[in-house]
Copies of this chain bind each other. A is one copy, B any other.
């Protein structure tokens, strides 16, 4: 296992680290999402992939937990430390708990598991991208070299996993917009509904781009508004 060393403990930063221990995009969420997808998976090769990465994430849970505990430890006896996270201080005695930086208990509602392999791989690619950016933000608030080393290592592995899941998805050889067996309704599938109406903030003005123009797209002003306008004005 990765050996963790830190300099001066920083309870408020330790509290932030809990995002990757017991938070929505953290290591337990990753470990459980991939391992349970693996249990459900009927494709032997990709099942092994899901189990490999699920197991690795579980070992990361221990790394980030150990790191967070080192930073949170003073909250047991130090009042300012305790105010950083009273739940950790009072209920946990300065030890880590399976919660995020705001004390919310980890929940399986974070997980995305459908039993449809290519769908699950897409959920995993997105999950790795989220974990990467969260580690980056932690790094941006950190200047302890030992802590930075651990975070840089964990962040790097998310990119590794993102690559592996992307390649596994591509290796299935499926059309990128075919999901499951039932085809979408032709015609309806190519309509872009221009539905949002506000203008209060920059950017809610109607915009065009490859996502609603060209390549077969048909722009449709939201039917509800058309009807409304017809009636009222």
Q: Are A182 and B141 in contact (CB under 8 A)?
A: no
Q: Is the CB of B90 within 8 A of A138?
A: yes
Pairwise interchain contact B164-A211, C-beta atoms closer than 8 A: yes
> Interface on chain A toward B: helix, strand, loop, or mixed SS?
helix
Residue contact B44 to A202, C-beta cutoff 8 Å = yes
Q: Interface extent on A, as a size class?
A: 35 or more
Is A100 at the interface (CB under 8 A from chain B)? yes
Tell me if A39 and B163 are in contact (CB < 8 A): no
**Cβ contacts under 8 Å, A229 to chain B:** 225, 228-229, 232-233
A185 contacts B36, CB within 8 Å?
A: no
Residues of B within 8 A of A113 (CB): 92, 95, 97-98
For residue A15, which residues in chain B have a CB less than 8 angstroms away from its CB? Answer: 86
- The residue on B at minimum CB distance from A213 is B167
Q: What are the residues of chain B within 8 A of A53 when measuring CB–CB?
A: 195
